[in-house]
Amino acid sequence: MQKEKKSGLFRFGLAAIAALSLILAACPQEADTTTTVSDNADWDLPGGATPSVTAGSRKLMLSWDEVPGADRYQIYYGKTDNPYAATSAGYTIETRFAIPSLENGAKYNVWIRAARYSLDYDTLTYGPFGGAASGTPVAATATPAAPGDVRATPGQDYVKLTWAEVPAAETYTIERQEDGGAWTAVDGTIRFSPYFDKTLKISTTYKYRIKAANTFGDGNWSSEVTATTLAPYPLTLNAWNNRELKFSENQDILAAGTNYTNAHYFQISVPANTQYNVQWNGSAYGDGTKTADISASAEWKDTNTSIFTSTNNGWTTLRTLNNTTGSARVAMVKVGTYSTNYKYIGTYTIRCYDPNTTISQTPPSVFSATYWPGGIELSWNKIANVDGYNVYRATSFKGPFTKINGAPVAQPIPSTVTYANTGVTAGTTYYYQVSAVTTSPAAEGPRSAPYAFSIPGSAATTVALAPNTWANGNITVSSTVDWYTINAVNGTTYYVWWNDGYAGGGDGTKTLDIDVSACYADGSSIFSNIDAAWSSPESFTASKSGTVYLRARAYNGGAGTGTYGIVYNTTGTKP
């Protein structure tokens, strides 16, 4: 009995993007009891520098030369001669460090190794240990001197304070003055520099002073330093604002635990009786190109009242800035790290747009790609209320992506949009993104997540079919395909038969059950994955002149091997 014919879209292959593995690399500050050193080696990093050591009261003060390629350093100490048996004192982004809470009179060895954060693997990698240095803490004999070289470096909502370590100091106290007001204590238990004063007001001037203390009492206050926190970034209307949460902005890299609090602030003026939409693109929710896992919140600047609270998904679930009053209001949008234990640095992008003039749809989603000897055909579901699409291509998941279409790909009547990318190279993996566009107003929406498709390692070999002449095929390698060509003339009807190994699907001389697909040279489908054409042919009337490709494969893309035959003519009578 002949099997039922199965029709479908012209789909020769699918590709999937490998999921990234999220591996946490914690950054403790306090001296801990861990004695196992991670062997996550990065031999591209040079060895850690050998530190200079200055002894203080219950502490050792270290300094060293910068290691090229490092974005932080890990410090180990102990009474052992083996760094792999030593205790981690934590990480620093500086080239100096103080190890507190040591035993006066006891000798300690210290080691440093360079480290850097890998965005590709979301983990820390390490260089080898540098040379050992040693020091013996000595008890203080008097109150400590005032700290020198005090510096204040502002961010948007924090000030980073640094100072020269005082050998006799066991703790430090910091006081702050806001815009000429009274001095208030910030922290009286600080044990070494630097210190991040967090959750401050933006665009505000602060003054600081620091004093050291030990068992003999408090020392004198340092010289005062002043810093003004930075203004918010402008949130440009109808445009993407690309930003990066940097490791150097990580306010808590020196704090105990994993409470990372990187944040950026944006502001935009919302006209009276107007609603804007806010959308952001991060690693957890986005197009797959960003590396920071972020959340966002917003409030009105004039009243400090919430517009929307902190939320992670701003990609498919949009947030609004809805000003229902009769005058313009400024909205403050805060973007911060969503997770407290991974992806606390990296790239993201955010936009605020007028939904009446800008595409508000989520991006199209590429769901399949088709290879034929002339190129790749991409397919995606169309979205409503747009005029067309742009297609971008790269040879790396992270880009750069280049627009490859000329005029926008037209919005079709069917639910599926297709685009043929010709001129591809055998053995290459391509990554594609698609965005929707409108012509009035001229606008482009966000791009889809990258879709990967790999071209076979060698160019496809084709066999030209002659009318009324059977071509005998033999697939000898599992899961491979054979390609044939017909030189078609526009308006001519063609009839194709094949003789295969399925019962009733041939004359009984062939061994492989096959299905056949056909497309034009531009990749547009004629018919797809037709199972049987022995008793009656599969026919089509050419809508254009030129090469038509026929693909024969084991039925349903299976792994079978064996023989078959295929033929065509324009008369409709089987040869």
List pLDDT tens digits, range 410-458: 877 767 788 888 888 888 999 999 988 887 767 788 888 889 998 877 6
Could you tell me which residue, 54 or 189, shows the higher pLDDT? Answer: 54
β-strand pairing of 123-129 with 96-99: unpaired
Facing residues of 554 across strands?
514
CB of 142 within 8 A of CB of 216? Answer: yes
pLDDT at 249: 53
What is the 3 state secondary structure string of 541-566? ECCCCEEEEEEEEEHHHCCCCEEEEE
Cβ partners under 8 Å of residue 224, min gap 6: 207, 208, 209
Q: What angle do CA 249, 250, 254 make, to 5 degrees?
A: 130
pLDDT of 466 over the 50 cut: yes
Distance CA 139, CA 59 (A): 9
Q: Can you tell me whether residue 247 is helix, strand or coil?
A: helix
β-strand pairing of 481-488 with 462-464: parallel
86: its two tokens = 């030593």
Distance CA 382, CA 437 (A): 12
180: its two tokens = 């000429």
Residue 21: band (very low, low, confident or very high) from pLDDT cuts 50, 70, 90: very low
Burial 507-532 (b: 16+ CB within 10 A, else e): eeebebbbbbbbbbbbbebbbbbbbb
pLDDT at 232: 92
Place of tokens 């100096």: 96
pLDDT at 196: 85
Distance CA 491, CA 108 (A): 89
pLDDT of 27 over the 50 cut: no
Mean pLDDT of the chain: 83
pLDDT of 540 over the 90 cut: yes
pLDDT at 370: 75
Q: How many CB atoms lie within 10 A of CB 297?
A: 17
Torsion, Cα 100 102 107 110, to 10 degrees, reads -40
Distance CA 139, CA 117 (A): 38
320-325 contacts at long range (C-beta below 8 A, 24 or more positions apart): 320/275, 320/276, 320/277, 320/278, 321/268, 321/270, 321/275, 321/276, 321/277, 321/278, 321/352, 322/275, 323/270, 323/271, 323/272, 323/273, 323/274, 323/275, 324/273, 325/272, 325/273
Could you tell me which residue, 178 or 236, shows the higher pLDDT? Answer: 178
Phi and psi dihedrals of 72, rounded to 5? -165, 170
Q: Which domains, from first to last, does the chain contain?
A: 52-135 (2.60.40.10), 148-228 (2.60.40.10), 264-351 (no CATH), 366-454 (2.60.40.10), 462-569 (2.60.120.380)
Phi and psi dihedrals of 231, rounded to 5? -75, 155
pLDDT at 258: 35
Could you tell me which residue, 355 or 40, shows the higher pLDDT? Answer: 355
pLDDT at 376: 87
Cβ partners under 8 Å of residue 442, min gap 6: none
CB of 286 within 8 A of CB of 315? Answer: yes
Place of tokens 């992270």: 398
Q: Can you tell me whether residue 536 is helix, strand or coil?
A: coil
Model confidence pLDDT, tens digit, residues 73-114:
889 999 999 999 999 998 887 888 899 899 999 999 999 998
Distance CA 185, CA 572 (A): 95
pLDDT of 204 over the 60 cut: yes
Model confidence pLDDT, tens digit, residues 386-403:
888 999 999 988 888 999
pLDDT at 103: 94
Distance CA 300, CA 285 (A): 25
368: its two tokens = 């399949």
pLDDT of 231 over the 70 cut: yes
pLDDT at 336: 80
pLDDT of 495 over the 70 cut: yes
Distance CA 182, CA 505 (A): 94
The secondary structure of residue 21, as a DSSP letter, is P
Place of tokens 């299905």: 515
**Chain Cα centroid distance, residue 162:** 33
Provide the percentage of residues in the chain whose pLDDT is more than 70.
85
pLDDT of 485 over the 70 cut: yes
Could you tell me which residue, 375 or 356, shows the higher pLDDT? Answer: 375
Sign of CA dihedral 200, 203, 207, 213: positive
> Would residue 505 be called left, alpha or beta, if left means φ above 0 and alpha means ψ between -120 and 50 degrees?
alpha
pLDDT of 9 over the 70 cut: no
Q: How many CB atoms lie within 10 A of CB 559?
A: 9
pLDDT at 293: 84
pLDDT at 300: 94
The least confident of 5-9, 186-190, 394-398 is 5-9
The secondary structure of residue 312, as a DSSP letter, is S
* CB half-sphere exposure, 377, CA atoms < 13 A: 21
pLDDT of 143 over the 50 cut: yes
109: its two tokens = 């060895």
pLDDT of 253 over the 60 cut: no
pLDDT at 251: 43
Residue 259: band (very low, low, confident or very high) from pLDDT cuts 50, 70, 90: very low
Q: What angle do CA 488, 492, 497 make, to 5 degrees?
A: 75
